[in-house]
């Protein structure tokens, strides 16, 4: 369904319809002590009520409260992106979660809407593209243990990394962002992503992708790396940080 919807959008672009290619990137970061609390009572219930039964059930199964916070916050960030981008009919309960591939919005029209959400430890990022495809990945840099390097990196990249954590997670984040944007089958395809020399472009299955370092946009330190992939260069990128209070107090 998701690929079918976007193929309709792309067919419209090929006919020469004028479009505005923009990307909205909204993010939330938990406080340094990691003790953020979910909004209580009516706010939390309202957030859950906005979701499909499938998604509510998935969130209820999360063991850690921090994971539930990031999951709910990420969806609220997406909603804010959609409304700010002019998709007034957007509704979280209309999101479709396929068994494989990334979720999509079951819109009734050819509105040209693609999105992706990524979270790692205490950071969640939602990216929405209008009339272009997007993928985002955020990673917390951590000790390299028994990670499957050969599933992700080609021989030249393995030689470059030499088990340097920063380099590895930057490569991982770029490749996963591309795989998610392309809506292809999981991390097994990450090794097939070819990065160019300056690493600001990538190719997968003959399709070119543009890469953007989000580190400065998200004001993250060296403990993290975050990258955005898009099918075309956006005319404009909008970046906003949101707190739980911002999301809870919103009337949208």
List of domains in the chain: 1-132+233-252 (3.90.470.20), 134-231 (3.90.470.20)
What pLDDT is stored for residue 71 in this prediction?
Answer: 94
- 4, 220 contact by CB (below 8 A): no
Q: Hey, how many other C-beta atoms are within 10 angstroms of the C-beta on 213?
A: 16
The helix/strand/coil state of 192 is: helix
Low-confidence ranges of the chain (pLDDT < 70): 1-19, 32-41, 108-111, 146-148, 163-165, 199, 251-252
What one-character DSSP code corresponds to residue 183?
Answer: T
Q: Which residues contact 11 (CB under 8 A, 6 or more apart)?
A: none
Please state at what angle helix 65-84 crosses helix 53-60, rounded to 10 degrees.
Answer: 150
What pLDDT is stored for residue 163 in this prediction?
Answer: 58
What pLDDT is stored for residue 158 in this prediction?
Answer: 80
Q: Which residues contact 170 (CB under 8 A, 6 or more apart)?
A: 225, 227
Token reading at 140: 């917390």
List, in sequence order, the alpha helices (H) in the chain: 2-14, 41-49, 53-60, 65-84, 149-152, 155-161, 165-182, 244-249
What pLDDT is stored for residue 19 in this prediction?
Answer: 58
User: How far from chain centre, in Å, is Cα 93?
Assistant: 18
What pLDDT is stored for residue 7 in this prediction?
Answer: 55
List b or e across 50-60, with b for residues whose CB sees 16 or more CB atoms inside 10 angstroms. bbeeebeeeee
What pLDDT is stored for residue 13 in this prediction?
Answer: 46
What pLDDT is stored for residue 16 in this prediction?
Answer: 45
Instruction: Tell me the pTM.
Output: 0.87
- 128, 122 contact by CB (below 8 A): no
Instruction: State the Cα–Cα distance between residues 201 and 211, nearest whole angstrom.
Output: 5
């Amino acid at each position: 369904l998701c690929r079918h919807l976007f193929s309709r959008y792309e067919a419209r672009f090929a006919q020469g319809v004028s479009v505005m290619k923009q990307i909205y990137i909204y993010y939330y970061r938990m406080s340094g002590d990691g003790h953020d609390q979910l909004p209580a009572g009516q706010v939390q219930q309202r957030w859950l009520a906005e979701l499909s039964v499938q998604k509510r059930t998935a969130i209820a199964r999360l063991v850690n409260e921090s994971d539930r916070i990031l999951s709910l916050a990420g969806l609220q960030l997406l909603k804010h992106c959609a409304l700010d981008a002019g998709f007034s009919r957007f509704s979280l309960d209309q999101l479709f979660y396929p068994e494989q591939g990334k979720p999509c919005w079951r819109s009734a029209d050819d509105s040209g809407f693609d999105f992706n959400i990524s979270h790692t430890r205490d950071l969640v990022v939602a990216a929405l593209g209008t009339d272009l495809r997007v993928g985002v990945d955020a990673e917390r840099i951590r000790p390299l243990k028994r990670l499957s390097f050969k599933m992700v990196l080609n021989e030249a990249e393995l030689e470059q990394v030499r088990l340097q954590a920063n380099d590895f997670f930057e490569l991982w984040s770029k490749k996963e962002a591309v795989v998610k944007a392309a809506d292809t089958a999981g991390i097994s395809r990450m090794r097939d992503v070819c990065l160019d020399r300056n690493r600001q472009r990538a190719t997968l299955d003959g399709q070119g992708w543009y890469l953007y370092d989000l580190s400065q946009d998200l004001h993250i330190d060296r403990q993290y790396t975050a990258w955005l992939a898009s099918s075309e260069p956006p005319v404009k990128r909008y970046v906003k940080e949101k707190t739980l209070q911002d999301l809870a107090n919103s009337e949208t």
